[in-house]
A and B are shown apart, each in its own frame.
With several copies, the nearest count.
Chain A
Amino acid sequence: MVEITRKDLNRSFWRWMFFSHSNYNYERLQSMGVTYALSPILKKLYHNKPDELKEALQRHLQFFNTEPSFGDPILSISIAMEEQKANGQPIPAEMIEGFKTGMMGPLAGVGDTLFQGIIIPILLSFTIPFATEGNIILGPFAYGVLLLGIMLPIAHWLWMKGYYTGRQGILELLHNSLLQKVMMFAQILGAVVIGALTAKFVTVSTPLAIPLGRTSLNVQKKVLDELSLGILPLAVTLATYWMLKKKLKPTTVLLILIVGAAVLGAFGIIKA
């Protein structure tokens, strides 16, 4: 009987962390990264069984794609399945393949939203303000340290949890209200924080003045600011949001913003 040790698991984990995307491609996406990460374990499990090794390699060279950190338990659970298979349990290859393709979508969905959609923007929102004052430590440095300090432990914990509690454990996690609570909390935090960011970093106002006989009416101070401070930056941001909602491509929106700002700026209707 061959047994997978904690050391084997850790080794695989780091291979995955480092090289999941090194040969990322349109045909099979992360498949080679997966095979690369699992190969030492497959070699160990099918040590004297060259045919089964070949099959295992081919199995994992199939199409695969998920969020590398949040989806990594799929691989550690696959390891557990390969281990049982190698030790004689009746686990058909289809079961392993089905499991991988079944789980990769959901975990990619949650993972991408949580990491790229919420945590990273929040961390950037915290650190960019310092960076705009030239503070490198509390700016880019803190960003990097915090990001790694959050994502690596989560990835590692999930990897181990996956191997030891199996499919059941991960499914429970996904449906547990704790995950939902964390997501909701993070979303609210994120929404408020990027609101604050808008206030600090979207800068646009109008220099217009409406002549009224001898004096003139400062549109920014006497009209817009009376309604709400910062109403133009807010309006621009919400309009941008609305364009995206209308399914315009980000690059189109980018163009609209650039051209719009250029034209209005050139005619002196808005200023930075």
Chain B
Amino acid sequence: MHINVWQAILIGFVYFLGINAQPWLTTIGTHVIMRPLVNGTIVGLILGKPVEGCLIGAAINLPFLAWISAGGTVPMDQALAGTLGTALAIASGVKPAAAAALAVPLGLLGTVIWVTHMTVDISFVHMADKAAEQGNVKKINFLNIWPPQLIVFLMSVIPVALAVYFGAEPVAHVINILKGRPMDVLSVIGGVLPALGIAMNLRAMNGKGMIIFFIFGFLLTVYSGLPILVVSAFAAFIGYVYMTLYFKNEPTADQQDKSTD
């Protein structure tokens, strides 16, 4: 399908909003818009295909399940994978699993923008130091928002808009050539990639026992066929019992509550 200039620019803007810790409800807002689940859907909306965007975004999101940014590190840029990836996938009519295989590597590219941003911003801090010497609060406030955000804005909107506008056709062409076996291989990759997100999450949880609970969840789901929400209701039950028994000898605010009601 064809993508027009305005759509391309809007998609670039979605990417801008999804960059790690961007303003407009900083870490909170961006924990939402950064996720391909969300920005993929928005991109789909812009292109008039929200459901496709949702399906593809969800697929791209899985390998980023446990994406953690701590201390300013950004392991991969899922916002780029989500926005650009979804846009190109919709434009060339790829299935979600293959789309994920194609989009995830884009996440590696995006970190360049983040590093540049965090480097350039240093100069504004030094200006702020001077403003502080003069007690110029207004200037500090201005420096915190306008110059750095303008730069990120340009650095994010322009390249993404260009990539979407000019990239859609060639990518669709290449995809067309790949039909058949190569496309199947992409699906295989797409089917395996979610393992990364899950494994990273497991490691982030960091505790031997968690592997046991993880395998339990896996087997319960595989053999019962229950939906995830129901599995998680049972998990909550188990978690509650485990937690209660584990901490039973340590009085908490909670228990004191109990004894008085």
Interface residues in A135-156 (C-beta closer than 8 Å to B): 135-136, 139-140, 143-144, 147-148, 151-152, 155
Contacts of B180 on A, CB cut-off 8 Å? none
Task: Pick the residue among B54, B204, B219 that contacts A136 (CB under 8 A).
Answer: B54
The list of the 5 closest CB pairs from A to B, nearest first, reads A195-B217, A21-B21, A265-B188, A192-B235, A25-B121
Interface residues in B198-243 (C-beta closer than 8 Å to A): 198-207, 210-211, 213-223, 227-236, 238-240, 242-243
In the complex, A213 Cα to B160 Cα: how many Å?
A: 37
| A49 CB to nearest chain B CB (Å) | 10
B167 at the interface (CB under 8 A from A): no
Is the beta-carbon distance between B65 and A121 smaller than 8 angstroms?
A: yes
Contacts of A240 on B, CB cut-off 8 Å? 195-196, 198-199
Task: Pick the residue among A36, A67, A177, A195 that contacts B140 (CB under 8 A).
Answer: A36
The CB with the most chain A CB atoms within 10 A, among B40, B75, B144, B222, is that of: B144
| B197 CB to nearest chain A CB (Å) | 8
Task: Pick the residue among A136, A189, A237, A250 that contacts B41 (CB under 8 A).
Answer: A136
Chain A interface secondary structure, helix, strand, loop or mixed?
Answer: helix
Contacts of B252 on A, CB cut-off 8 Å? 176-178, 181
Is the beta-carbon distance between A152 and B101 smaller than 8 angstroms?
A: no
B93 at the interface (CB under 8 A from A): no
Is the beta-carbon distance between B68 and A112 smaller than 8 angstroms?
A: yes
Is the beta-carbon distance between A124 and B37 smaller than 8 angstroms?
A: yes
Contacts of B28 on A, CB cut-off 8 Å? 17, 68-69, 147-148, 151-152, 155
Is the beta-carbon distance between A69 and B27 smaller than 8 angstroms?
A: yes
Contacts of A174 on B, CB cut-off 8 Å? none
In the complex, A185 Cα to B246 Cα: how many Å?
A: 11
Closest to A270 in B: B188
Question: Which residue numbers of A lie inside 8 Å of B, CB to CB?
Answer: 17-29, 31-33, 35-36, 39, 42-43, 50, 53-54, 57-58, 61, 65, 67-69, 108, 112-113, 115-118, 120-122, 124-129, 131-132, 134-136, 139-140, 143-144, 147-148, 151-152, 155, 176-178, 180-181, 184-204, 226-230, 233-234, 236-238, 240-241, 243-245, 250-251, 253-254, 257-258, 260-262, 264-266, 270-272
Is the beta-carbon distance between B221 and A199 smaller than 8 angstroms?
A: yes
In the complex, A180 Cα to B246 Cα: how many Å?
A: 11
Is the beta-carbon distance between B203 and A139 smaller than 8 angstroms?
A: no
| A136 CB to nearest chain B CB (Å) | 5
Is the beta-carbon distance between B71 and A144 smaller than 8 angstroms?
A: no
In the complex, A22 Cα to B66 Cα: how many Å?
A: 24
Question: Which residue numbers of B lie inside 8 Å of A, CB to CB?
Answer: 20-29, 31-32, 35, 37-38, 40-41, 50-51, 54-55, 57-59, 61-63, 65-72, 75-76, 96-97, 101, 104-105, 108, 117-122, 124-125, 128-129, 132-135, 137, 140-141, 143-145, 147-149, 181, 184-185, 187-196, 198-207, 210-211, 213-223, 227-236, 238-240, 242-243, 246-247, 250-254
| A151 CB to nearest chain B CB (Å) | 5
In the complex, A178 Cα to B133 Cα: how many Å?
A: 44
Task: List 28 A-B residue pairs with CB atoms under 8 Å apart, sorted by A's residue number.
Answer: A19-B144, A21-B22, A22-B148, A23-B147, A53-B137, A61-B128, A68-B28, A116-B66, A122-B232, A129-B227, A139-B37, A139-B58, A140-B57, A148-B29, A151-B31, A187-B205, A193-B217, A196-B231, A197-B228, A227-B229, A228-B233, A236-B195, A238-B211, A241-B203, A257-B189, A262-B189, A271-B188, A272-B187
Task: Known contacts A202-B194, A262-B189; decide if A57 and B121 are in contact (CB<8 Å).
Answer: no
In the complex, A251 Cα to B200 Cα: how many Å?
A: 11
Task: Pick the residue among B54, B190, B200, B228 that contacts A196 (CB under 8 A).
Answer: B228
Is the beta-carbon distance between A194 and B215 smaller than 8 angstroms?
A: no
